Amino acid sequence: MTRADAPKLLAYKWVNNDMRWELEAVGEGTRLTLWTSIDRRFISMGAAGWHVCFDVLERMFAGAPLGRIAGPAAMGFGGWQRLNAEYAQQFGVELPTWLPNAAKS
């Protein structure tokens, strides 16, 4: 843990990446912002993984939980391959060639 300012901010190191979660009141709701440092070579993979995490979280809040999906299981779930390719294109990075069934952009 590198910083905690409840209920607005939580920051910590996760492996070699800095993670920062921020909550901000917006109208009658709350905006969640996730900041993370990540090696640019893996940015599309990280974005696709976090996209799946937020999809799982959304399902939990909707009362239709999917359970824990992490690591290699996330790469086969919820269109991860498609998301990885879309984020690679958006960020202007190459898809790693070692990925199984890597979608071509």
**pLDDT at residue 100 in the model:** 56
In a domain, 45, yes or no: yes
In a domain, 6, yes or no: yes
Indicate if 47 and 18 belong to the same structural domain: no
Q: Among candidates 67, 69, 97, 65, which has minimal Cα distance to 84?
A: 97
For the chain, list residues with pLDDT below 70: 98-105
In a domain, 84, yes or no: yes
Q: Please give the residue range of the domain that contains residue 81.
A: 39-94
Q: What's the structural domain count of the chain? A: 2
The model scores a pTM over 0.85: no
Indicate if 21 and 54 belong to the same structural domain: no
Indicate if 15 and 54 belong to the same structural domain: no
In a domain, 76, yes or no: yes
Q: Which helix (H) or strand (E) holds 54?
A: helix 43-61
**pLDDT at residue 44 in the model:** 93
